[in-house]
Amino acid sequence: MNLDQTLAELTSLPIFERLRVVESLWDSIDADVPVSISPEQRIELSRRIQAQEANPNELLTWDEVLDQLRSRQ
């Protein structure tokens, strides 16, 4: 398998298909595998959690995000 060729093919897909690839790859990662994050990432995650908790109605569901992306095509 040539990774560069595969990436070139994947990046030429329409955005919706690329999102499906990303989602599939993400889902293939074992949840039990520990992931280390940097202090900066931890700060950003905390900021995002606080923002979501402060304004829970401003978030979109995954289905809403997909619907918006589909409507742009």
Confidence of residue 59 (pLDDT cuts 50, 70, 90): confident
Please measure the distance between the N-terminal and C-terminal CA atoms of the chain and give it in whole angstroms.
31
| pTM over the 0.85 mark | no
Q: What is the pLDDT of residues 4-27, one digit of tens each?
A: 999 999 999 999 999 999 999 988
Domain residue extents for the chain: 1-34, 36-73
Which of these, 7, 44, 37, lies nearest to 25 by C-alpha position?
Answer: 7
